[in-house]
Amino acid sequence: MGANVWVIVQHREGKLHKMSWEAIAAGQALASVTGGQVSAVVLGSGVGPVAEEIAGRTALESVRVADHEALAHYTPGGYLSVLAPAVEAEQVGWVVLPHTYQTVDYAPRLAQRVGAAIVPEVVEMENGDDGLVWRRPILNGKLQARVRVTGDRPAVVTVQSGAWSADDLAEGSASVSELDASGAVPDREILGVEEAAGEQVDLSSAPIIVAVGRGVGGPDKMGPIQQLAEALGAEIGASRPVIDNDWLPRDRQIGSSGQTVAPKLYLALGISGAIQHLVGMKGSQTVVAVNKDASAPIFGLADYGIVGDLHEIVPELVKAIEEAGE
């Protein structure tokens, strides 16, 4: 029998993170290759309903629940104090997690604690002549590395958003059983959790999106972009650096930690095409990319590409659209 797979799910206030389903689908795909059993693991306090939700929908060996007051809020120490001894005691072969801000915080420490290999941010699994190989983007998505885990130690894998689909889940049901959480020791005290201001702009229903990336160069360069959006009747979206630099408000961010969009037309201006951006817009019907670097990964997805300086091309586009409308 092959190595068993544990998928550690992420949730907040009783709601599963959507990437948890994708991680379970990845775990199932992995188990179908290794021949092991796959279980989902839920940590928290009062998380029975979350476990039941998974168990009622998914074909798994079991859903393991570590329920303890000390796990009411996520802390890396709390999670590690439960997961590390359990992974060792139960000789888990593969620990699969969604690649999120939370797991970036504790997955490497878990791997270190249990002496596991770690393969972060995987986007594909291959099982061919080279054995079981993971693909993961490197150098800001410009290249993909193929990685094989060697030796007989366990491995921790984090799964990039959108790489597996919740639609790929093998449906069925699972038993729910306890995972010992009596040793849970948080390593920090959460004094409070404040919600960020809610989303104001819903980009998910916009038919046309003009999206800008770091290549736009600054907030003072947005004038022609706004003219283009107006000429097309489009919403403006952005990659994360634009938001992190405060060039546009956070509710304009598209990607794995922003909104997911599927417009008829998506213009990507000065966006390189990192995987975290692509997962948020790859459902667009037609993608037009403008980038001065002909090797930018965005061109791999674009239906139409213009290699050039967006500051020259955008005013030309505005002019052409206005002339066409006259």
Ligand X SMILES: Cc1cc2nc3c(=O)[nH]c(=O)nc-3n(C[C@H](O)[C@H](O)[C@H](O)COP(=O)(O)OP(=O)(O)OC[C@H]3O[C@@H](n4cnc5c(N)ncnc54)[C@H](O)[C@@H]3O)c2cc1C
Residues found near ligand X in the complex (CB under 6 A): 101, 140, 213-215, 239-241, 253-258, 270-272, 274, 276-277, 280, 290-293, 296, 309-311
Nearest to 215 by CA among 188, 239, 248: 239
Shortest Å, Cβ 18 to ligand X: 13
Shortest Å, Cβ 167 to ligand X: 21
d(CA 203, CA 200): 9
Of residues 54 and 123, the one with the C-beta less far from ligand X: 123
Question: CB–CB of 117/29 below 8 Å?
Answer: no
Question: CB–CB of 56/25 below 8 Å?
Answer: no
Of residues 168 and 309, the one with the C-beta less far from ligand X: 309
Q: Give me the amino acid identity at 60.
A: L
Shortest Å, Cβ 145 to ligand X: 15
Of residues 30 and 243, the one with the C-beta less far from ligand X: 243
Closest CB to ligand X: residue number: 255
Structure tokens at 197: 């201001």
Shortest Å, Cβ 41 to ligand X: 21
Sequence-distant (6+) residues with CB within 8 A of 316 are none
Q: What angle do CA 318, 322, 326 make, to 5 degrees?
A: 170
Shortest Å, Cβ 157 to ligand X: 16
Of residues 87 and 210, the one with the C-beta less far from ligand X: 210
Query: How distant is the alpha carbon of residue 299 from its chain centre?
Result: 21
d(CA 32, CA 2): 10
d(CA 77, CA 106): 8
Of residues 73 and 250, the one with the C-beta less far from ligand X: 250
Locate tokens 């965005």: which residue?
298
Of residues 312 and 322, the one with the C-beta less far from ligand X: 312
Shortest Å, Cβ 300 to ligand X: 12
